[in-house]
Chains A and B, each alone.
Chain A
Amino acid sequence: MKIDIQRDAAHQRTTFVLDGELDVHQAKTLKSTVLEKLEEGVWTYVIEMNSVGYIDSSGLGMLVYLKKEILRSQGRMVIANPTEAVLNVFRLTKLNEFFELG
Chain B
Amino acid sequence: MPVSGGYDIDKLIDSAPDRTTLVDLELSGNPRCLALVRRLLEASAHSMLLDETLLNDIKLAVTEACTNVIKHAFKYDPTKKFGVTIQISPMLYLIRVIYEDSGFNPDSIPLPDLDEYKGGGLGVYIMRNIMDDVVYSTDPPTGMVTLRMVKLLKPLFTTGGPM
B125–A93 touching, CB < 8 Å: yes
A85 to chain B, nearest CB (A): 5
> Could you mark each residue 61-102 of chain A with 1 if its beta carbon is under 8 Å from any beta carbon of chain B, else 0?
100110000000000000000000100110011110010000
Q: How far does the Cβ of A89 sit from chain B's closest Cβ, in whole Å?
A: 7
Decide if B122 is an interface residue (CB 8 Å cutoff).
Answer: yes
B118: chain A residues at CB < 8 Å are: 64
B114 at the interface (CB under 8 A from A): yes
Contact A95 B63 (CB under 8 A): no
Q: Are B71 and A24 interface neighbours, CB within 8 A?
A: yes
Size of B's binding interface in residues, CB under 8 A: 25
At the interface, yes or no: B137 with Cβ under 8 Å from chain A? Answer: no
In the assembly, what is the distance between CA of A21 and CA of B60, in Å? 11
Binds A, one of B32-40, B87-95, B142-150: B32-40
| CB atoms of B114 and A24 under 8 A apart | no
The one of A23, A64, A88 that contacts B56, using a Cβ cutoff of 8 Å = A88
Closest to B121 in A: A57
Complex interface: chain B residues within 8 A of A85 (CB): 56
Contact B117–A54 (Cβ < 8 Å) = no
B10 at the interface (CB under 8 A from A): no
Whole-angstrom distance between the alpha carbons of A10 and B60 in the complex? 40
Interface range on chain A (Cβ under 8 Å from partner): 20 to 34
Q: Decide yes or no: A60 and B38 within 8 Å by CB, A23-B63, A24-B70, A93-B117 being known contacts.
A: no
In the bound complex, residues from chain B placing their C-beta under 8 Å from that of A95 are 117
Asked if residues B119 and A56 are in contact (CB atoms below 8 Å), the reply is no
Contact A21 B67 (CB under 8 A): no
Chain B CB within 8 A of A58 CB: yes
Name A56's contact: one of B32, B67, B115, B120 (CB within 8 Å).
Answer: B67
**Do B122 and A93 have beta carbons less than 8 Å apart?**
yes
Does the CB pair B31–A61 fall under 8 Å? no
Kindly state whether residue A2 has any CB partner on chain B within 8 Å. no
Rank and list the top 8 A-B pairs by shortest CB-CB distance, nearest first: A57-B122, A25-B31, A61-B119, A94-B114, A57-B123, A64-B119, A24-B67, A24-B31
B interface residues with partner A (beta carbon < 8 Å): 31-32, 34-35, 38, 56, 59-60, 63-64, 67, 70-71, 114-115, 117-120, 122-123, 125-126, 129-130
Known: A57-B120, A89-B60. 8 other contacts (CB 8 A): A23-B34, A23-B63, A24-B34, A56-B67, A61-B120, A85-B56, A93-B117, A93-B125
